[in-house]
């Protein structure tokens, strides 16, 4: 049952609030002075505080109530506090709302408004507790990952990327083919390194081949090797990537660029573990774990007849999708700090600019932006201007007739999400320069 702490030296007020809240299954604790109220907070978990603004008969300034609020706020910044104030103390109450108080209500209060405010604040407190629990769970899971697995120095903070890393670690021990999918620049090779580093062949070689960086006629020679004279310019024996990766892992990036002939030969190796060098009739046997990656839509390529369906299922025992940076915003600043040169810092404006940018080039673009800014910036602190990111798209100007709808939407959204009364909502709108009319 939620607990409401009422700090008021008027027994009639305390009793009235206790009766009101008990009718709605809310537990109330009364405190007749600021000292008693603070002592309660030191001993008992409380969900909402309702405090008077004046505790001394010789003054109506609300100074003692303001001091009490500041003491509560210093102890528990997230604890919502509702101020009960007389009209003579309104100015002081408004200043305290700006300082962090949840709301104020003038005496005599409206029961319905007070209950509505308390219930919304309780919902907000529950959301905060749930968020804190999730953050604690994320820290625990991250610590477990770092304790039990080699993460190859991966930098991540977003839960979406944590799930990717956890899946990569989970499938690493199984001797199965892994297909890593996602846009260019998201870190697919880093995920492949994590799979290799935690696999049964982690002590074997880790060989990579970018299938999109070579002409199709040379990819097969790179994969399987070639005898002298196998093709124009082949004047010596070339060892292929499969030979080099024997006893370890072969990472095939941009697998969607493999030619039809290369696809057929790769399928045979995956099925039999045997291959021939170009220009040779002698088969070789290898044991290689294959991890592949692509930014292409392989199912669409299968439908178009440009990628073999049987090869797709051989490569895709487990798929690990790496989301774009726009879908893991909590990774932006940790990655940016990682890419910064030693001794460089990000100004608050630079941090804001990084978080507002859409990052179509993903982690690769972020790294390039930070490297360029580090080289060109004059001072030790990088500003938004140093990053030279394009300005975000301007907000849409609402056409005539939208204003009333927007006003109601803003009012409803703020009230629902922040637990504000109408008066507190208007104060927030004034602070944000949102017109009331």
Q: How far is CA 409 from CA 395, 404, 412, 419, 435, in A?
A: 16, 9, 5, 15, 13
Distance CA 108, CA 87 (A): 10
In a domain, 230, yes or no: yes
Q: Judge if 251 and 360 occupy the same domain.
A: no
| pLDDT tens for the chain, residues 1 to 437 | 889 999 998 899 889 999 999 999 899 999 999 999 999 999 999 999 999 988 865 555 567 888 999 999 999 898 999 998 876 567 778 888 888 899 888 888 889 999 999 999 998 888 888 878 887 887 888 888 889 999 999 999 999 999 999 999 999 999 899 999 999 999 999 999 999 999 999 999 999 999 888 877 788 888 988 888 777 677 788 889 999 999 999 999 999 999 888 899 899 999 999 988 888 888 899 999 999 999 999 999 999 999 999 999 999 999 999 999 999 999 999 999 999 977 889 999 999 999 999 999 999 999 999 999 998 888 789 999 999 998 776 545 445 444 544 555 555 555 444 445 555 555 556 555 566 54
281 and 342 share a domain? no
pLDDT for the residue 36:
94
CATH number for the domain spanning 370: value is 1.10.8.60
How far apart are alpha carbons 4 and 147 in whole angstroms? Answer: 42
Residue identified by tokens 């507790």 is: 129
- Same domain, yes or no, for 89 and 34? yes
For residue 272, tell me if it sits in a domain. Answer: yes
Residues 362 and 377: their CA atoms lie apart, in Å, by: 22
3-state SS string over the chain? CCEEEEECCCHHHHHHHHHHHHCCCCEEEEECCHHHHHHHHHHCCCCEEEEECCCCCCCCCCHHHHHHHHHHHHHCCCCCEEEEECHHHHHHHHHHHHHCCCEEEECCCCHHHHHHHHHHHHHHHHHHHHHHHHHHHHHHHHHHHHHHCCCCCCCCCCHHHHHHHHHHHHHHCCCCCEEEECCCCCCHHHHHHHHHHCCCCCCCCEEEEECCCCCHHHHHHHHHCECCCCCCCCCCCECCHHHHCCCCEEEEECHHHCCHHHHHHHHHHHHHCEEECECCCCEEECCCEEEEEECCCHHHHHHHCCCCHHHHHHHCCEEEECCCHHHCHHHHHHHHHHHCCCCCEECHHHHHHHHHCCCCCHHHHHHHHHHHHHHHCCCCEECHHHHCCCCCCCCCCCCCCHHHHHHHHHHHHHHHHHCCCHHHHHHHHHHCCCCCC
Query: pLDDT value at position 418?
Result: 46
pLDDT at 99: 87
Residue 137 has what pLDDT? 83
Within a domain: residue 138?
no
* CA 8 to each of CA 15, 16, 232, 345, 355: distance values in angstroms, whole numbers, following the listed order: 10, 11, 93, 48, 45
**212/356 same-domain check:** no
> Are residue 273 and residue 312 in the same domain, yes or no?
yes
Q: Say yes or no: 154 and 240 in one domain.
A: yes
Do 29 and 93 lie in one domain? The reply is yes
Whole-number pLDDT of residue 427: 56
Q: Is the dihedral of CA 57, 61, 65, 70 positive or negative?
A: negative
C-alpha span between 288 and 164 (Å, rounded) = 23
Q: Are residues 186 and 208 in the same domain?
A: yes
CA distance 419 to 415: 5
Token pair for 124:
């907000």
**Shared domain check, 170 and 111:** no
pLDDT at 349: 94
Answer whether residue 396 is part of any domain: no
pTM of the model: 0.66
- Say how far apart CA 335 and CA 342 lie, in whole Å: 14
Residue that is last in its domain, among 95, 128, 161: 128
**Cβ–Cβ < 8 Å for 172, 194:** yes
Query: Where is the domain boundary, 289, 323, 357?
Result: 323
Domain total of the chain: 4
- Residues pairing with 51 in the sheet: 7, 83
In a domain, 114, yes or no: yes
Number of C-beta neighbours around residue 272 at 10 A: 10
CATH number at residue 153: 3.40.50.300
- Is the domain of 269 the same as that of 191? yes
337 within some domain: yes
Query: Is the peptide bond between 108 and the residue preceding it cis, with omega within 30 degrees of 0?
Result: yes
CATH of the domain at 124: 3.40.50.2300
39: containing domain: 3-128
Phi/psi of residue 109, nearest 5 degrees: -80, 160
Total count of residues recorded for the chain: 437
Q: Among 305, 323, 341, which residue terminates a domain?
A: 323
**Is residue 186 within 8 Å of residue 324, measured between CB atoms?**
yes
Asked if residue 31 belongs to a domain, the reply is yes
Same domain, yes or no: 179 and 161: yes
Shared domain check, 107 and 46: yes
Long-range CB contact pairs, 227-231, < 8 A, 24+: 227/277, 227/278, 227/279, 227/280, 228/279, 229/279, 230/277, 230/278, 230/279, 230/280, 231/278, 231/279
In the block, tokens 């001072």 appear at: 379
Task: Evaluate whether residue 144 is within a structural domain.
Answer: no
């Amino acid at each position: 049952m939620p607990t409401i702490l009422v700090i008021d030296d008027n027994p009639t007020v305390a009793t009235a609030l206790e009766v009101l809240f008990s009718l709605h299954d809310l537990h109330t604790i009364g405190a007749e002075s600021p000292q008693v109220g603070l002592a309660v907070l030191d001993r008992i978990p409380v969900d909402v505080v309702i405090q008077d603004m004046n505790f001394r008969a010789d003054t109506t300034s609300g100074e003692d109530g303001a001091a009490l609020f500041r003491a509560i706020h210093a102890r528990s910044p997230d604890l919502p506090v509702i101020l009960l104030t007389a009209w003579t103390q309104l100015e002081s109450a408004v200043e305290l709302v700006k300082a962090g108080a949840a709301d104020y209500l003038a005496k005599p209060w409206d029961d319905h408004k007070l209950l509505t405010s308390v219930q919304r604040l309780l919902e907000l407190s529950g959301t905060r507790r749930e968020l804190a629990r999730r953050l604690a769970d994320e820290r625990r899971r991250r610590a477990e990952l770092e304790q039990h697995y080699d993460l190859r120095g991966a930098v991540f903070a977003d839960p979406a990327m944590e799930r990717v890393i956890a899946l990569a670690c989970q499938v690493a021990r199984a001797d199965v083919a892994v297909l890593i999918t996602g846009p260019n620049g998201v870190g697919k090779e880093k995920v492949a390194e994590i799979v290799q580093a935690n696999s049964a062949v982690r002590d074997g070689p880790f060989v990579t081949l970018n299938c999109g960086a070579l002409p199709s006629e040379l990819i097969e020679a790179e994969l399987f090797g070639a005898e002298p004279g196998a093709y124009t310019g082949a004047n010596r024996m070339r060892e292929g990537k499969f030979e080099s990766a024997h006893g370890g892992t072969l990472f095939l990036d941009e697998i969607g660029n493999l030619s039809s002939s290369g696809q057929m030969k790769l399928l045979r190796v995956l099925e039999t573990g045997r291959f021939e060098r170009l220009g040779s009739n002698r088969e070789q046997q290898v044991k290689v774990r294959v991890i592949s990656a692509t930014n292409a839509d392989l199912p669409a390529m299968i439908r178009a007849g440009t990628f073999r369906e049987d090869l797709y299922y051989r490569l895709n025992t487990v798929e690990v999708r790496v989301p774009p940076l726009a879908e893991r915003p909590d990774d932006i600043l940790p990655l940016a700090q990682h890419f910064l040169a030693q001794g460089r810092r990000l100004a608050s404006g630079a941090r804001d600019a990084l978080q507002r940018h859409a990052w179509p080039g993903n982690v690769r673009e972020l790294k390039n932006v930070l490297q360029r800014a580090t080289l060109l910036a004059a001072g030790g602190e990088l500003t938004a201007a140093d990053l030279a990111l394009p300005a975000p798209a301007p907000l849409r100007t609402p056409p005539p007739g939208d204003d009333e709808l927007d006003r109601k939407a803003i009012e409803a959204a703020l009230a629902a999400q922040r637990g504000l009364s109408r008066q507190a909502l208007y104060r927030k709108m004034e602070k944000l320069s949102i017109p009331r009319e």
